[in-house]
Amino acid sequence: MLSGPPVSGTVGAAELLERFLAGSPRQRRSLLPQFETRAAEILPLIAERLERLDSAGDDWAAGFLIQLLHACGEEGQRVAFLARHPTGWLDAPSAA
């Protein structure tokens, strides 16, 4: 059983995103359907939230948010994200 209050449609997009980022992997997976149905509300918040995440970390939440942005975002949102991160958001230096 998941702890905490249930997330309903009455929760704002910013709070839903915060719960996703603060949750355990299991809690995050339970929130994925809401991200699909409420993508339009969440997309404008993604770029700012990514700035607070560790680009050298191994947390899948950032990758999910970037995929959501590229799959559901408007062309302007995708272009702005790529302009801000021309070499990609993830900091993964080469071993070479």
Helices (H), the chain: 13-22, 25-37, 39-51, 60-72, 75-84
Q: Which residue has the higher pLDDT, 76 or 10?
A: 76
- Separation of alpha carbons 66 and 76, rounded Å: 14
pLDDT value of residue 96: 61
Confidence band for 20, pLDDT divided at 50, 70 and 90: very high
Q: What is the pLDDT of residues 47-86, one digit of tens each?
A: 889 888 888 888 899 999 999 998 988 898 889 988 888 8
Q: Which residue has the tokens 């994925």?
A: 32
Please give the radius of gyration of the chain, using alpha carbons only, rounded to the nearest integer: 14
Global pTM? 0.79
